[in-house]
Structure 1
Amino acid sequence: MAHWRAQVLKPPSVLDQAARGVQGRINRMIPEQVHAAITTVIEGMTRTILTGADLTTAPPVIGASLAERDRRALAAIDGYRTTAAVEGGVAGAGGFWLALADFPALLVIKIKLLFDLSATYGHEAETFEERLYILALFQLAFSSADRRAQVFHGLEDWDGREHPADFEHFDWRTFQREYRDYIDLAKLAQMIPLVGAPIGAIVNWRLLERLGHTAMNGYRMRWLARS
């Protein structure tokens, strides 16, 4: 946990700052209407996924040790990585339009993994508060170094604080920008003819691996805070 915390709170490197600068210049070139449209699409998609009744999970695991929960979590992550890699490979082989379709499909796979990990660590993913935690874990995995530190501190002592009852004050603009900037270059490479399939498979595998690692440690943090 200490090692993971140090990695999350590590200041941005020179390379991180350079990449951030390039992405910032690209964002400034994109018309505000496009930013607003993307924000609306991602907000609607994420709201539907997080509040939809179709994303049900198994009942929370009760009475298991932390080691047993970790074992189950690793098995779940392995399964979702494989699914995401296959989906990314097929989308990458299908050219531009299938590669675009990979974006919402991959988002669903990621959120479903977080729902399953929530149950594995003994939490009820059907509650709104738990879905907020799931959304925060998603942000922690796919944000810039500066933003990660802010999100991480919001997760500390989660069960000891009050939380909003709805999404009214959630910053969707920052959420979509951080997520899009994190995966933009990798997903654009997926659209390259001939190499799109292997790139899509590898990128999706790595994204699910990062999300799973982040979520496991986020739930370990809550477990240890209650111990």
Structure 2
Amino acid sequence: MSTYDQHVFDELKKWEIEMTKRPTLWNKATKTVQTKINEKIPQKVHDVVTASIKQMIKATLLGSEYTTRKTSQFQGSLQEQDEKLKERLAFYKKTAAFEGAGTGAGGFLLGLADFPLLLGIKMKFLFEAASIYGLDVKDYRERIFILHVFRLAFSDPHKRKEAFEKVVFWKETIDEFPAHPGAINQINWQELQQDYRDHIDLIKMLQMVPGLGALIGVYANYHFLEDLGEVAQNCFRWRVLMEQNHE
């Protein structure tokens, strides 16, 4: 293991502690508040968000939109892969911020449109990130891995340890899925949608407030991509190092 790889390994062990720690009192209080907020949000808003999440994720697993673009596997050391990801993440953060500013300034209807647009940006980033770390995103089973990375990034703190273990013990996880698109029926859509919505609902609702929408849209979308980038990088780093150790 190179000096850089050892440094990454040490960072991943610290990240493991963060991902597996028990929910705090703040997490529990936030969950209670979020549940009450969800009860106040108009049903049509819930319907738009739920439908966009489910359709986008299904398109990710079954469609060709993401598997026919930028799927060439990057050749390089782990350090070079990290540098390449940093470069591409900067691009996606700016793209998300720009999109958030535009929809945030447009009021309620454009605010609703932000949900599927932002989700699309996140998915495009995850597919490109996977390719950077050498995954073949045309392989259906690797797309299942990408979905688990997405789930971990936006998981409920009470379920984060389970989501983390699904990623780091990937060989055991993927054995639960048949190697064909029918595995999509084994995904708990309700849980996945609700966790993602709970993660973003509050700040995205504020994006629809007149006069504040554009500013909040820029801030929220930029940081959503930043958080996703950190989780994705660590998940893919983990895969790279674990597979190297088993060679």
Name the TM-score, length of structure 2 as normaliser.
0.84
Structure 2: distance between partners of 1:57 and 1:84: 19
| Correspondence 1:164 to 2:177 | yes
Match for 1:8: what amino acid? Answer: M
Evaluate the alpha carbon distance shift between residue 188 and residue 39 of structure 1 in structure 2; reply closer, same or farther with a 3 A threshold: closer
Cα shift at 1:38: 5.7
Q: Aligned-pair RMSD on alpha carbons?
A: 2.2
Structure 1: distance between partners of 2:42 and 2:102: 32
Name the TM-score, length of structure 1 as normaliser.
0.92
List runs of 5+ in structure 2 lacking aligned partners. 1-11
In 2, are the aligned partners of 1:129 and 1:163 still within 8 Å (CA)? no
Cα shift at 1:49: 3.3
In 2, are the aligned partners of 1:89 and 1:200 still within 8 Å (CA)? yes
Question: Match for residue 114 of structure 1?
Answer: 126
Evaluate the alpha carbon distance shift between residue 57 and residue 223 of structure 1 in structure 2; reply closer, same or farther with a 3 A threshold: same
| Stretch of structure 1 that moved more, 19-28 or 114-123 | 19-28
Question: Match for residue 29 of structure 2?
Answer: 18
2:207 corresponds to which of 187, 190, 194: 190
Runs ≥4 residues deviating over 3 A:
25-41
In 2, are the aligned partners of 1:57 and 1:125 still within 8 Å (CA)? no
2:218 corresponds to which of 164, 182, 201: 201
Cα shift at 1:174: 0.2
Question: Match for residue 174 of structure 1?
Answer: 191
Aligned length: 226
Match for 1:142: what amino acid? Answer: F
Question: Match for residue 18 of structure 2?
Answer: 7
Q: Match of 1:167, SS?
A: helix
In 2, are the aligned partners of 1:39 and 1:172 still within 8 Å (CA)? no
Structure 2: distance between partners of 1:94 and 1:40: 21
Structure 1: distance between partners of 2:242 and 2:114: 37
What is the percentage of aligned positions where both structures have the same residue? 38
Structure 2: distance between partners of 1:30 and 1:200: 19
Cα shift at 1:214: 0.3
| Correspondence 1:57 to 2:70 | yes
Question: Match for residue 143 of structure 1?
Answer: 155
1:211 corresponds to which of 225, 228, 239: 228
Cα shift at 1:58: 3.0
Structure 2: distance between partners of 1:88 and 1:3: 32
In 2, are the aligned partners of 1:92 and 1:191 still within 8 Å (CA)? yes
Match for 1:54: what amino acid? Answer: E
Structure 1: distance between partners of 2:51 and 2:98: 28
Evaluate the alpha carbon distance shift between residue 36 and residue 138 of structure 1 in structure 2; reply closer, same or farther with a 3 A threshold: same
In 1, are the aligned partners of 2:61 and 2:143 still within 8 Å (CA)? yes
2:115 corresponds to which of 103, 107, 122: 103
